[in-house]
């Protein structure tokens, strides 16, 4: 786990990130809540959310249309990284690992809004919920 700051002391204003969601069940309200989660995370961390790619197909393939779109967007010169609500959005363990590798191959960051692995200094306060600190995977 690196402790590099996301935007503080960086020579760029509002680095551009792209969201990725796997939204198989639930309606429009659930999808909207997930997008709102990404939007709020980006606002708090001074990131510009350039768009959100959503997979809606229950069949999980490494190279789904939405994930290919995300990887293409991450190759743009101004792209800083991808943001997901939780690692589970990348798919089951084997597919998620390959997708993390593909994001890393773009030389951008993978930002995770809800990490269930405590990070240094992220001990939850009573009532705040465990693991709400961002996690950066590269």
Residues 38-94 have pLDDT tens digits of 999 999 999 999 999 999 877 778 889 999 999 999 999 999 999 999 999 999 999
Relative to beta strand 109-112, strand 16-22 is unpaired
Continuous H helices in 3-92: 28-44, 65-74
Q: Say what the pLDDT of residue 120 is.
A: 57
In a domain, 95, yes or no: yes
**Domain-embedded: residue 4:** no
Please state whether beta strands 48-55 and 79-84 pair in parallel, antiparallel, or not at all (unpaired): unpaired
Q: Which domain holds residue 55?
A: 16-137
Residue 8 counted as domain residue: no
Number of domains in the chain: 1
Whole-structure pTM value:
0.73
Residue 2 belongs to a domain: no
| pLDDT of residue 117 exceeding 70 | no
Q: Scanning the structure block, which residue is given the tokens 């692995």?
A: 117
- What is the CATH number for 44? 3.40.50.1390
Beta bridge partners of 79: 16
């Amino acid at each position: 786990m690196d402790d590099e700051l996301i935007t503080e002391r960086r020579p760029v204003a509002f680095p551009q990130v792209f969201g990725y969601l796997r939204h198989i069940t639930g309606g429009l309200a659930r999808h909207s809540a997930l997008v709102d989660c990404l939007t709020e995370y980006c606002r708090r961390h001074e990131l510009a959310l350039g768009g959100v790619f959503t997979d809606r197909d229950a069949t999980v393939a490494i190279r789904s249309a939405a994930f290919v779109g995300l990887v293409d967007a991450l190759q743009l010169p101004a792209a800083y990284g991808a943001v997901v609500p939780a690692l589970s959005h990348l798919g089951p363990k084997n597919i998620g690992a390959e997708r993390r590798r593909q994001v890393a191959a773009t030389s951008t960051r993978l930002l995770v809004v809800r990490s269930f692995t405590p990070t240094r200094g992220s001990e939850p306060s009573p009532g705040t919920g465990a693991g709400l600190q961002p996690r950066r995977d590269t």
